């Protein structure tokens, strides 16, 4: 079987998930990756056969989506030519992790595809939303990628087509320990601001992962570290808890490890508001997006925050088994896979 795997390169979560899924997909056959976008920072160790600037999602200084920059980043004629050049019709399976160009190519060429990933879960109304919905946020989540089928990944199984998070092997195989420090990953906030509030809790050690520092730097009870996957994994595995945004991959990894979480949705990012609502429903302490992080909130969380855990170790097996079932269903003959393909 030949698989066309489109991966959105806005942020690192999509690439990280693709790296984790790739060995499983390669058991089914040959995988060609299409990397779409240009503002991720993670090395894409993938069999990238096609690459594009794509239609990336950009964020403004307050963390919200920069709609003018998104809308005017590409020439429409150039996008059309690129879309039509994607050979999606030559593959047995088109798997799309939130890429608009692949979605357009499949639509124009009438090729079935599967939208697979966290954003796919928002096609279902059962996936949690904040009290006040954003019409343009909903529009982006539901219309940015169209597909024949949507298989979502989320914190809980809110719908039969939604499965748990795909967790990288280093985290699944780790033995979590508690060395007493708090891991902090809030790249939207300045180091100076974080230092001003964390230094007021002198008895608590913090490991802050920063997008600005180049070397490890210690300021009394705070250690600032460059963002590095191996170093971050080590800090997360051994921390007492984590303060992070309300993205998907990092909170899911923390839940897998049974770490206490204080989540802070980034202002203006509707998807994070939705994730925040889901985490709050589970019992995780989530900051109001309209409220700034402060010392009192952190101290209260340190004393009273709930420690929760979830087991996502079977998510890959479950979601890919479901993908096979969808592809082999008699009502979806245009998605039937070769009979010799079996999930291993």
- Dist CA 98 CA 81 (whole Å): 20
- Dist CA 27 CA 316 (whole Å): 13
Question: How far from chain centre, in Å, is Cα 333?
Answer: 31
Residue with tokens 């909130």: 297
- Structural domains of the chain in order of their starting residue, each with its CATH number: 2-166+314-335 (3.40.50.2000), 170-304 (3.40.50.2000)
Residue 276: both structure tokens together: 């925040």
- Dist CA 328 CA 334 (whole Å): 9
User: Which pLDDT tens digits describe the chain residue by residue (344 residues)?
Assistant: 899 999 988 767 888 899 999 999 999 999 999 988 765 445 567 878 888 776 655 555 444 556 666 665 556 777 888 899 999 999 999 999 999 999 999 999 999 999 999 999 999 999 999 999 999 899 999 999 999 999 999 999 999 999 999 999 999 999 999 999 999 999 889 999 999 999 999 999 999 999 899 999 999 999 999 998 899 999 999 999 999 999 999 999 999 999 999 999 988 889 999 999 999 999 999 999 888 899 999 999 999 999 999 999 999 999 999 998 887 665 554 554 554 454 44
Residue 341: both structure tokens together: 């393909």
Residue 265: both structure tokens together: 């949705």
Decide if 18 contacts 26 (C-beta within 8 A): no
Which residues, in sequence order, are bridge partners of residue 94?
Answer: 4
- Dist CA 41 CA 123 (whole Å): 28
pTM (2 d.p.): 0.90
């Amino acid at each position: 079987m030949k698989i066309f795997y489109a991966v959105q390169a806005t942020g690192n979560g999509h690439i990280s998930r693709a790296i984790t899924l790739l060995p499983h997909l390669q058991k089914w056959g040959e995988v060609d990756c299409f990397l779409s976008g240009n503002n991720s920072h993670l090395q894409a160790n993938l069999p990238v056969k096609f690459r594009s600037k794509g239609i990336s999602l950009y964020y403004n200084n307050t963390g919200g989506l920069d709609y003018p920059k998104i809308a005017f980043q590409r020439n429409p004629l150039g996008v059309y030519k690129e879309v039509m050049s994607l050979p999606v019709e030559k593959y047995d399976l088109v798997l799309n992790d939130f890429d608009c160009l692949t979605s357009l190519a499949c639509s124009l060429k009438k090729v079935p595809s599967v939208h697979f990933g966290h954003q796919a879960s928002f096609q279902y109304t059962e996936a949690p939303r904040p009290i006040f919905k954003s019409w343009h946020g909903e529009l982006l989540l539901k219309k940015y990628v169209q597909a024949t089928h949507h298989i979502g990944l989320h914190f809980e199984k809110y719908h039969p087509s939604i499965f748990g998070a795909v967790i990288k092997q280093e985290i699944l195989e780790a033995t979590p320990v508690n060395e007493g420090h708090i891991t902090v990953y809030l790249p939207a906030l300045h180091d100076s601001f974080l230092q001003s509030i964390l230094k007021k809790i002198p008895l608590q050690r913090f490991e802050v992962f920063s997008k600005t520092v180049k070397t490890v730097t210690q300021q009394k009870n705070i250690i600032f570290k460059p963002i590095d996957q191996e170093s971050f994994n080590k800090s997360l595995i051994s921390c007492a808890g984590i303060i992070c945004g309300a993205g998907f991959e990092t909170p899911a990894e923390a839940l897998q490890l049974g770490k206490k979480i204080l989540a802070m949705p980034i202002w203006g990012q509707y998807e994070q508001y939705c994730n925040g609502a889901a985490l709050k429903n589970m019992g995780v302490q989530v900051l109001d997006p309209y409220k700034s992080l402060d010392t009192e909130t952190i101290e209260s969380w340190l004393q009273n925050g709930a420690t929760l855990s979830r087991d996502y170790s079977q998510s890959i097996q479950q979601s890919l088994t479901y993908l096979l079932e969808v592809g082999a269903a008699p009502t979806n003959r245009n998605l039937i896979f070769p009979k010799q393909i079996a999930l291993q």
